[in-house]
Structure 1
Amino acid sequence: MTSASYPGDGSYPPSYYAASRNITRQPRMLEGEVEADICVVGAGYSGLSAALHLAQNGFKVVVVEGAAVGWGASGRNGGQIVNGLNASLETITRRYGQKAGDFIGGLLQEGAGIIYDWVERYAIQCDLKRGNIYAAYTAKHMQELEAKQALWRQHGMDDHELLDREAIRQHIGSTVYAGGMIDHSGGHMHPLNLVLGEAAALESLGGTIFEHSPATAVKQNASGASVRTHHGRVSAKAVLVCGNAYLGDVVPELASRVMPVSTQVMATEPLSAERAKALLPSDMCVEDVRYILDYFRLSADHRLIFGGGVVYGGTDPADIVAKLRPNMNKVFPQLGDVRIDYAWSGNFALSFSRVPQMGRLGGRVYFAHGYSGHGVTGSHLFGRILSEAVRGDMTRFDTFASLPWIPFPGGRMFRAQYSTLGSWWYALKDRLGI
């Protein structure tokens, strides 16, 4: 089905992940009237995490997806399991107080734990590897990593290993970095195979997923809520809205809370085992610590998957390879002759505070969104917290819902321009090392 929110027919973009996925689904469209305990809008990580947690607890769950499972950011991202939120724990504590900082500090590794648990429990084949590296360009970056290590230790997290200039060369075959830090509890995987495996796990527990069925309206009354599509409707006791960057205006109250931002990724041709090992000897994923950062890792078939850059407002650059290749060549000049086989773009949802948002509209509609580029782990965590709220435990849900959200300056019309100006300033600071 074609929808304004889903260009073309809603099939996967021409990414490396789509070309190498190991599950081919036979999608079902929603037609007619369906009843469920809970209806979830969106079959990405957030929606499937909530749905799978609920199905594990005996709920009848229906998921409504506008395109295909994992069509959005869940199936296009860099594949990195990075703990934490976009906003640092230090920023959260300073902004919201010590109690909020202690609360969030206590669950920053939980999202990764959900992924590791489900990959093992449901035998999801997604090329899972352990370890991610934060790479530092400057002495100031190293000071930031040292402070992060110390702060996370205060919250019981002692998985971080600092690397000096010589030590990081044992993990990254590049001379550009001044040092870095390994998070041994992080990792990387094939993101589309992960979300497809989670969908299969949900269905094995009796959950239902309707694809190519964009939601057109979400309604609620005293006794329940419903989700309408072009050809059907799901009636349920509650609705969980997990459309994130691709929700559009289906729920008008949420449209101004987040802004779609596109990021770009490309994959090289397969490299020889020796050449791949020379790039990343320990096979960990990497992201640098600049404001406008690069991130990269090896795929199971020895491609370098390299991403970075942002476009506020969610539009795609005219030439993704031209945008990313100079950055890749700066880190790995030895790849100047390597062919790029795939290049793609996708949107994540940015909140102005860089902290995800969770809340409830009326009594029957719940939502979570705004992971701001750190959605792989955050979405799995927030999906669990949504499921807790539906089951009657509001403790963690209410704590997140109570955090104030900040509207974008300039409103929907000018928020992209405002954010672009801000990114230029931070990019200048990155270049100047200040």
Structure 2
Amino acid sequence: MTYPDTYYSRTMTEDRSRPVLSAHIDCDTVIIGGGLAGLTTALQLARGGQSVVVLEAKSVGFGASGRNGGFVSPGYSTGGDDIARVAGTSTAKKLHQMSIEGVDFVRSTIAELKVAGVNPIDGVTSVMRYDDGRGLQSYAEIASRDYGYQLDYLDTAAVRNVLKSERYFHALRDSRAFHIHPLNYLRGLALEIERLGGAIYEGSPAVRTDLAQPEKLVWTTQGQVRSKNVVFTTGGYTGNLDARLKRAFLPIATYVMVSEAAPDLIASAIATTDGIGDNRRAGDYYRLVDDGRRLLWGGRITTRAANTAGLVEELRREMTGTYPQLEGLKTEIAWSGLMSYARHLMPQIGKLEPGVWHCTAFGGHGLNTTAIGGKVVAEGILGQSDRYTLFRPFGLVWAGGLAGLAVAQLTYWKLQTQDWWRERAA
């Protein structure tokens, strides 16, 4: 895929063309999918001395992996209480600690590799659209007590001092979280994998596999890879390659837009470089990009591909409903990407059978969880740890097929209604 003339294509620091696989090759591990999870896994395996091949159907960072909101913060798509209910309190705490480790991994990798154009900016603020300051303070106290993790509570006056909106009440600021240019991050990982001897093939979709023997075979349209291990990291773009994976996730589309350059107008509404997200399910998230000259705004989900232009109008209504002063801010470009959600809203990470691994279903919380997911899968393959087994309670449960998509959409509408009533009461 060639990226259109968007904010991301204009700001890419590396745009090399990678070859199509057109031969029969051997390696230790073949990874199917060149997004966040696949490249993190490949990087850690290459660091561990393995010969690695990455097969990417389109291009490195295609879809939601390379063009997401860029937020790097701990946690998962479901809350700690739900995780503890399924996996137990001890495992839930270990999983959350691993999500913090994922944040630190991304930060240290950027620094170690000196990845150009990633532009990490400290600070992610989570805002509430109704009045429950005590609840936020309690959450901050738990984070400090259980994980030694500092979250700074902001009251309504402090919030509205930097976010000029009457929609917002209280907030928690995470100074350890940050936001980045995700496509440049991914391309930096790809360069390091190649420097370490790994091979990345673009325009090379895997079309068939034979996983029954100790030596696994993966065919593309023009070539073949023979390996000891196969890792599936295809996320929302998982097709029919493996039925166990296909039945276990729902493809969910999300939408992002970037404004025209209007720094003075944007500054009249948003006086912080923090990434901002609200407390609603599939709520708004946004941040300043291009040195504050443009505003990236994302949100909304659909369970099927929708008309992007129509969804952008909904995003714009959210933006101007929050910030009426941005009514005149024009949208320059918009796009959508597919995420994968499991029914339990947790990543699906583990071993399908000897030599066959999966690391997928990050549900919109991917930059930290793909990092830790890729890391623990690589540890498992290298025999360094069995930490991947912490995700075992959240396996490849059937997502419900078409009925599951319908239920997911109805649930989203229900949650939207609940959010509306709660905000109206405020």
What's the CA shift string for 1:264-295, capped at 9, x where partnerless? 110111123x4444433230000000113000
Q: CA deviation at 1:213?
A: 0.4
Letter in 1 for 2:284: D
What's the CA shift string for 1:346-373, capped at 9, x where partnerless? 1110111111111222211100111111
Q: Distance in 2 between matches of 1:186 and 1:265?
A: 21
Asked if residue 84 in structure 1 is aligned to residue 75 in structure 2, the reply is: yes
Letter in 2 for 1:131: G
Q: CA deviation at 1:417?
A: 1.1
Q: Hey, what does 2:226 align to over in structure 1?
A: 235
Q: CA deviation at 1:315?
A: 4.1
Q: Hey, what does 2:409 align to over in structure 1?
A: 420
Is the contact made by 1:12 and 1:68 (CA closer than 8 Å) also made in structure 2? no
Q: Hey, what does 2:375 align to over in structure 1?
A: 384
User: Secondary structure at the residue paired with 1:38?
Assistant: strand
Is the contact made by 1:17 and 1:191 (CA closer than 8 Å) also made in structure 2? no
Asked if residue 368 in structure 1 is aligned to residue 333 in structure 2, the reply is: no
Q: Distance in 1 between matches of 2:303 and 2:401?
A: 12
Q: CA deviation at 1:254?
A: 0.6
Letter in 2 for 1:355: M
Q: Distance in 2 between matches of 1:164 and 1:332?
A: 19
Q: Hey, what does 1:5 align to over in structure 2?
A: none
* 2:392 equivalent among 382, 393, 401: 401
Task: Label 1:13 to 1:96 Cα distance change in 2 as closer, same or farther (>3 A).
Answer: farther
Q: Hey, what does 2:131 align to over in structure 1?
A: 139
Mapping for residues 14-413 of structure 1, pairs under 5 Å: 15-125=6-116, 126-140=118-132, 142-272=133-263, 274-301=264-291, 302-408=293-399, 411-413=400-402
C-alpha RMSD of the superposition: 1.7
What's the CA shift string for 1:303-337, capped at 9, x where partnerless? 00001100013444452321210001012211111
Aligned length: 421
Q: CA deviation at 1:14?
A: 5.7
Letter in 1 for 2:405: A
Is the contact made by 2:269 and 2:325 (CA closer than 8 Å) also made in structure 1? no
Letter in 2 for 1:281: A
Is the contact made by 1:127 and 1:300 (CA closer than 8 Å) also made in structure 2? no
Letter in 2 for 1:118: T
Is the contact made by 1:265 and 1:308 (CA closer than 8 Å) also made in structure 2? yes
Letter in 1 for 2:2: S
Is the contact made by 1:89 and 1:104 (CA closer than 8 Å) also made in structure 2? no
Q: Distance in 2 between matches of 1:200 and 1:279?
A: 38
Q: Distance in 1 between matches of 2:327 and 2:7?
A: 20
Deviates more, 1:14-23 or 1:123-132: 14-23
What stretches of structure 2 of length at least 5 have no aligned partner? none
Q: Distance in 2 between matches of 1:314 and 1:219?
A: 31
Calculate the TM-score normalised by the size of structure 2: 0.94
Task: Label 1:406 to 1:251 Cα distance change in 2 as closer, same or farther (>3 A).
Answer: closer
Q: CA deviation at 1:261?
A: 0.5
Q: Distance in 1 between matches of 2:395 and 2:321?
A: 40
The percent identity for this pair of structures is: 27
Letter in 1 for 2:412: S
What stretches of structure 1 of length at least 5 have no aligned partner? 1-9
What's the CA shift string for 1:134-182, capped at 9, x where partnerless? 0101124x44433332332233232210111011123323232011110
Letter in 2 for 1:377: N
Q: CA deviation at 1:406?
A: 3.9
Task: Label 1:213 to 1:11 Cα distance change in 2 as closer, same or farther (>3 A).
Answer: same
Q: CA deviation at 1:223?
A: 2.2
User: Secondary structure at the residue paired with 1:228?
Assistant: strand
What's the CA shift string for 1:207-257, capped at 9, x where partnerless? 110000011122223422122101001111101110011121111111011
Q: Distance in 1 between matches of 2:139 and 2:396?
A: 24
Q: Distance in 2 between matches of 1:324 and 1:11?
A: 25
Letter in 2 for 1:128: P
